[in-house]
C-alpha cells in the first residue's frame, strides 16, 4: 500500500463535502469498502481516518488486549464506537459528520495530514500550533530517530 505523506488543504462546500486528496484516496481503494473510517483523535483536536484494512487491525488489536489491559481496551473500543464509515461519492468526496467537525474545530477548510498508514484531518490553525510544538520537542531532544531495522525487502512485518 502506498504511504500517506504530506499535507493537503481542501475546501468544504455548502453541502459539507470535501475531496479526499487523490494520492490518499488511491491508498484506500481495493480494500473492500470504497471510503474511509473516521474517528476523533484522543490526543488532539483532530480527526483520524484510515481505510478498511487498518480498521481491521484496530479491531484485531482490541480483541487481543481484552483480557490484559483495561486501558487499551477502553481506548480501542472508543475508537470503534466513535468511528464513522464515510463513503466516497463518485468524485472521491466525503461528508464529515458534525460531531467530528466540532471535535476538530473544522469549518470551511480541511487539512489532510498523511501519517503513513493513516491520516489526520485538522483545522489548519490548530495543526500549525501542534506542529510547532512537536518540532520544538523533537529539536530539544536532539532530533535522533531510532529506526526499525530495514524490512527484509517485503516480508510480512
Which sign does the torsion angle of CA 16, 17, 19, 25 carry?
Answer: positive
Using the structure block, give the residue that is written with the C-alpha cell 469549518: 107
* Least distance to a second copy, CB of residue 82, Å: 8
HSE-CB for 37 with a 13 A CA cutoff? 20
- Counting every residue written for the chain, the total comes to 157
Q: Which stretch binds a second copy (CB under 8 A): 11-19, 88-96, 102-110, 113-121?
A: 113-121
Q: Which is nearer to DNA, 65 or 95 (CB)?
A: 95
Within 33-52, which residues bind DNA (CB under 7 A)?
none
Residues 66/51, Cβ–Cβ less than 8 Å: no
- Asked if residue 71 binds a second copy (CB under 8 A), the reply is yes
- Asked if residue 129 binds DNA (CB under 7 A), the reply is no
Binding site for DNA (CB under 7 A): 8-11, 13-15, 18-22, 25, 87, 89-93, 95
Amino acid at each position: 500500500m502506498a504511504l500517506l505523506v504530506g499535507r493537503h488543504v481542501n475546501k468544504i462546500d455548502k453541502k459539507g463535502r470535501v475531496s479526499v486528496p487523490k494520492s490518499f484516496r488511491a491508498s484506500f481503494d481495493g480494500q473492500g469498502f470504497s471510503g474511509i473510517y473516521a474517528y476523533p483523535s484522543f490526543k488532539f483536536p483532530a480527526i483520524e481516518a484510515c481505510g478498511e484494512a487498518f480498521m481491521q487491525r484496530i479491531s484485531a488489536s482490541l480483541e487481543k488486549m481484552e483480557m490484559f489491559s483495561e486501558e487499551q481496551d477502553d481506548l480501542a473500543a472508543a475508537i470503534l464506537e466513535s468511528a464513522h464509515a464515510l463513503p466516497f461519492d463518485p468524485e472521491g468526496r466525503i461528508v464529515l459528520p458534525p460531531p467530528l467537525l466540532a471535535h476538530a474545530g473544522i469549518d470551511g477548510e480541511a487539512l489532510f495530514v498523511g501519517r503513513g498508514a493513516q491520516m489526520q484531518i485538522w483545522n489548519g490553525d490548530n495543526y500549525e500550533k501542534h506542529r510547532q510544538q512537536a518540532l520544538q520537542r523533537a529539536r530539544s531532544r536532539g532530533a535522533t530517530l531510532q529506526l526499525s531495522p530495514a524490512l527484509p525487502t517485503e516480508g510480512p512485518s
